[in-house]
């Protein structure tokens, strides 16, 4: 039995690979947002309504290569929050404990682009 790093999917794709691939799509969507704050769940719901970001989300899921639940745990709990944490367009406010997500503990994010 072989072992693999916890951040590597069965297809050999890493979380960092998915972050790199999804970053341009997420950054582009962030530039289009209006308002002050949103949760990770709200952002993912929006991502899935926009053709380009939905395609990137679906491609990341296929690239990871696990079952639906495990893949969504990686995307919702690691990849998308990682991109958001490293974006200059938002800042992490805290956990959204009341916002149910079966795949991760969602965060609350504040847009910073309007602070300039």
Query: Tell me: the pLDDT tens digits for 64-85?
Result: 999 999 999 999 999 999 999 9
Alpha-carbon torsion (89, 94, 79, 56), positive or negative:
negative
Within-domain flag for 6: no
Within-domain flag for 27: yes
Determine the structural domain holding residue 106 and report its residue range.
Answer: 15-115
Total domain count, the chain: 1
Asked if residues 87 and 30 have their Cβ atoms less than 8 Å apart, the reply is: yes
- What pLDDT digit, counting tens, does each position of 11-50 carry? 999 999 999 999 999 999 999 999 999 999 999 999 999 9
Within-domain flag for 1: no
- What pLDDT digit, counting tens, does each position of 97-114 carry? 988 889 999 999 999 965
- Residue 89: is its pLDDT beyond 60? yes
Within-domain flag for 7: no
Within-domain flag for 9: no
Within-domain flag for 8: no
Beta bridge partners of 107: 95
pLDDT of residue 100: 85
Rounded to whole angstroms, the Cα distance separating 116 from 5 reads 40
CB atoms closer than 10 angstroms to residue 109: 26
Angle between helices 40-47 and 15-32 (to 10 degrees): 90
Beta strands in the chain (DSSP E): 37-39, 90-95, 107-111
Confidence of residue 7 (pLDDT cuts 50, 70, 90): confident
Within-domain flag for 68: yes
């Amino acid at each position: 039995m072989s072992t693999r790093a916890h951040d590597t999917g069965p297809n050999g794709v890493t979380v960092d690979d998915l972050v790199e691939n999804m970053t341009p799509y997420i950054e582009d969507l962030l530039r289009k947002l209006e308002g002050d704050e949103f949760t990770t769940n709200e952002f993912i719901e929006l991502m899935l309504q926009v053709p380009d970001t939905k395609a990137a989300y679906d491609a990341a899921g296929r690239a990871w290569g696990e079952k639906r639940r495990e893949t969504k745990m990686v995307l919702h709990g690691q990849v998308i929050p990682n991109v958001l944490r490293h974006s200059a367009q938002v800042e992490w406010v805290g956990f959204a404990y009341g916002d149910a997500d079966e795949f991760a503990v969602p965060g609350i994010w504040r847009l910073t682009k309007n602070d300039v």
